[in-house]
Chains A and B, each alone.
Chain A
Amino acid sequence: MLAAALLLIAGAGISRAETPHLGKPIDEAAIAYWDISILPDGTGLPKGSGTPAQGAPIFAEKCSACHGDKGKGGGIAAALIEDRKIEGISASQKTIKNFWPYATTIFDFIRRAMPFTQPRSLSDDEVYALTAYILAENKLIGPNDAMNAETLPKVKMPNRDNFIIRFPDRI
């Protein structure tokens, strides 16, 4: 029994040592362009800043075709500016204001995926400005509040504490 256990341990050690090591070492600096991950505490947010007023014309030019005039919907993509309560269980009830728990997610998604047909074409200042515009129009920040790496993580989203981790033991 003991011998078998020792053999198993030895076996595991050998198999670890035998991996091919074909990965090429790479510096974080070389990964920087790809590394657009942002955490809800603001980790990863880039330099730059933008205000709702700066975001409005960018939204009209690059976002409203799909998200509707002033983000009210009616186009091919979801409305972004809506003020209503969740009624019932349909996902169609979710809005940024009544559901999204973190404002950092807005910045992250715009920067990585929008505009749909021209992803990564916006500057970080433009992404901050669009995020500020959407937050201000949803009355989640003031009309003159600039969004940047300092202010964005501090925006308190109303639904933040309304989630239940489904399977805590899997985390």
Chain B
Amino acid sequence: MDKSADRIAGKRDALNQDLPVVAGNGLIDRRALLGRGVVLAGAMSAGVANAAAGAEPLADDPWSLEVGEPMPPYQVRSKFEAKVVRTLSNPDNEPRNSHARTPHHLLEGTTTPNGLHFAINHGGVPTIDPDKHRLVIHGLVKQPLEFTVEALSRYPLVSRVTFLECGGNSAPMFSPEPMQANVQALHGLVSCAEWTGVKLSTLLDETGIDPKAKWLIAEGADSPRLSRSVPVKKALDDAMVALYQNGERLMPGNGYPMRLLLPGYEGNMNVKFLRRIKLVEQPAMSMYESRTYSQILPDGKAYRFYFLQEVKSFITNPSHGMALKGPGLYEISGIAYSGTGRIEKVMVTADGGKSWAPAALQEPVLSKAFTRFRMPWRWDGGPATLQSRAWDEAGNVQPTRAEFITVRGELSKPPPILGFPNQHYNSVTSWGIGTNGEVKHVYA
């Protein structure tokens, strides 16, 4: 640092040190910061004015001197945002499954843009003609019925914002050592959107349900005819046949033209390209439920029918792979969600869990949806370990990593980063900040 930069940093430090600290290593009371926003901004610009060179004199750039491009019928984002993309596990579409992970570190707010919503497909993305697609509901019903997309679009529609998460999201954290991977690689198999469709209970009202029916088998129109068993209990609670995603028809990779939506339940059960629902007395024990999404436990037994995506949070900014540009004020920002309801609170620490303070929760806080949390932080340039920990309204607490692996175990060696060595991982994530400002995934 040159001397002028030192002066700025010194001035900033003196300023920030007045702010009420709410927990160790520089966590600041958000209310105080917002209340003093004007003072802070004024003081900061005064600091910048002290810089030796200062800002360049302003001039017009070319885009201010010519007419711009024509407006496209369906707009796409600025070309300067081209790096904000999903990471692909199978870009050449080899005959195996394909994952696309959401870049949480490059996004803000709580809505995942449709082009960036995570997806896993087990036989490529089918190209489905919506005029030919059919949904059949049959089995233990009074009258089997067939629905077209057009017919379903005329039903009373409901919208709800909900997250969708793969049961294998965060699985790299079963590794015995912290995998040096960013939030997209660790937690990119969760996204949040507003889904609009027909409540499944409405359609089951019309078919009638034989009281013997305890399960339904949902099946897709994709090449593996992906099939999962779902309790009728969930179908009559908050299940939906979703037709719209963030206001437009579903993305092909997210189930166009319709998918089952089971708020709070593991992604694989939310069957895409939904074409058949059969009501039955017992679960099918399809491969995905009896093998893939049954988790081995340390004693050699295995969980079955886990279903629930439990309370989780992680910090997206700063996060692994970023570098802080010198001491000063930063905003810690992240995502929290729970498959059992609303987020009640999120606590944040900057000293690896020695002291915690409540983060501000962005309204509205919706059930089974992303909740954005924020916490102001003054980095003093020293080592820091950032964590977030969430509570939901049902009283569930996100476990620390130590608590989690005591129950669920960990792997004997690091897994492939794209693998699913186990599932339903929801512990606290830790980001370590070095004195050089680099952010790394750590266990703390």
Contact = CB atoms under 8 A, between A and B. Distances in A.
Interface in B166-196: 174
A49 to B, nearest CB: 22
Contacts of B295: 89, 91
Given A41-B282, A76-B95, A163-B301, A89 B144 contact: no
Contact of A167 (B224, B275, B308): B308
Interface string A50-66: 00000000000000001
Interface stretch (A22-30, A128-136, A143-151): A22-30
A162 B300 contact: yes
Interface centre among A39, A40, A41 (most CB of B within 10 A): A39
Contacts of B292: 91
A37 B120 CA distance: 23
Contacts of B360: none
A19 B408 CA distance: 46
Contact of A171 (B286, B305, B409): B305
Contacts of B99: none
B89 to A, nearest CB: 13
Interface in A121-171: 159, 162-167, 170-171
A158 B295 CA distance: 17
Nearest to A168: B305
Interface of A (DSSP majority class): loop
A31 B233 CA distance: 25
Given A89-B422, A167-B306, A102 B285 contact: yes
Contacts of A36: 225
B284 interface: yes
Interface in A1-43: 16, 18-28, 31, 34-41, 43
B3 interface: no
A109 B138 contact: no
Interface string B277-294: 010101111110011101
Nearest to A16: B205
Interface residues on B, range: 35 or more
B339 to A, nearest CB: 10
Contacts of B24: none
Given A19-B205, A99-B291, A88 B308 contact: no
Contacts of A24: 145-147
B242 interface: no
Contact of B305 (A16, A41, A166): A166
Nearest to B168: A91
22 contacts: A16-B205, A19-B206, A20-B154, A22-B154, A23-B206, A24-B147, A25-B144, A26-B146, A36-B225, A37-B280, A39-B284, A89-B174, A89-B297, A89-B408, A89-B421, A90-B422, A91-B421, A94-B291, A109-B286, A117-B95, A164-B297, A164-B302
Interface of A: 16, 18-28, 31, 34-41, 43, 66, 76-77, 86, 88-94, 99-102, 104-105, 108-109, 112-113, 116-117, 119, 159, 162-167, 170-171
